[in-house]
Amino acid sequence: MPRLPTVEEVWPTVPRTRRRSLSEWKRLNREIERCRRCPLGSLRQHVVIHRGSLRPRVLFVGEAPGASEDRVGVPFVGVAGKRLDQLVSRLGLLESEFAVVNVIKCHPPANRFSDEAARACRPFLARQVEFLQPIMIVPLGVSALSAFRPDLLPISHAAGWLSRWRGLLFFPMIHPAAAARSTALRRRWEHDGKSLSKVLSRLGAVGNPGSIPRPGASV
């Protein structure tokens, strides 16, 4: 693992200063809900936008909603979501400290990741990151990694390694669904989860709500 930056080195470079209003977030969500930029917009039951804090320290970015997410309109509520929830709880992240979004906002048939949808959704993802202003991004799986740093591919090399992306900390992991595919992948998921836990503890970024403003306030 590369040398871990100190808190002093990291925090001042993180762009967490822009004031944002809840109405800006609501406007973005309305735009995503109305989107028909690709064919998935007319196939979905629900658009799947976000869950968690509006002022997260850690932003998990998945690939695309599955059928369970399509039914309820919330990211990671199915089997992969249970594994992600277990990780979040092992990390000790409070509700106010993390959020979850996806690269693609609508369920692709047969769970086939669509580059066309990813391209159409890319501006929404960028605006979500800009609004949420996390300290760390954790892309889950190859398609989430390549939405930010295709230069780090393949995921088998990048997962579990700390780097930077635009002044933010960047810690890719394999997709939680992949962890169910073999013992080796499950061990990789668990191993990388432990590395992430060490990184967050050294930053003092978990279990410590500090000055995080309440969701709903002008942040």
Report DSSP state, residue 8: H
Q: In this chain, which stretch among 69-77, 88-96, 148-156, 191-199 interacts with ligand URA, using CB under 6 A? A: 69-77
* Closest CB to ligand URA among residues 82, 214: 82
Nearest Cα to Cα of residue 27 among 105, 147, 127: 127
Q: In this chain, which stretch among 22-30, 65-73, 160-168, 193-201 interacts with ligand URA, using CB under 6 A? A: 65-73
Q: Return the number of other C-beta atoms located less than 10 Å from residue 51's C-beta.
A: 18
| Cβ contact 144:101 at 8 Å | no
Q: Is 114 in the site for ligand URA (CB under 6 A)?
A: no
Q: How many residues bind ligand URA (CB under 6 A)?
A: 12
Q: How far apart are CA 173 and CA 157, in angstroms?
A: 10
Q: Is 170 in the site for ligand URA (CB under 6 A)?
A: no
Q: Is 53 in the site for ligand URA (CB under 6 A)?
A: no
* Closest CB to ligand URA among residues 78, 219: 78
Long-range contacts: 159-163, Cβ < 8 Å, 24+? 159/188, 159/192, 160/1, 160/188, 160/191, 160/192, 160/195, 160/196, 161/1, 161/2, 162/1, 162/2, 162/4, 162/195, 162/199, 163/2
Task: Write out the E strands in 46-165.
Answer: 51-52, 58-62, 98-102, 136-139, 163-165
* Closest CB to ligand URA among residues 56, 203: 56
* Shortest distance in whole angstroms from residue 126 CB to ligand URA: 18
Which residues between 121 and 160 bind ligand URA (CB under 6 A)? none
Which residues between 76 and 95 bind ligand URA (CB under 6 A)? 76, 78, 80
Q: Is 108 in the site for ligand URA (CB under 6 A)?
A: no
Structure tokens at 121: 């959704």
Q: In this chain, which stretch among 74-82, 115-123, 124-132, 179-187 interacts with ligand URA, using CB under 6 A? A: 74-82
Residues that bind ligand URA (CB under 6 A): 48, 62-66, 69, 75-76, 78, 80, 102
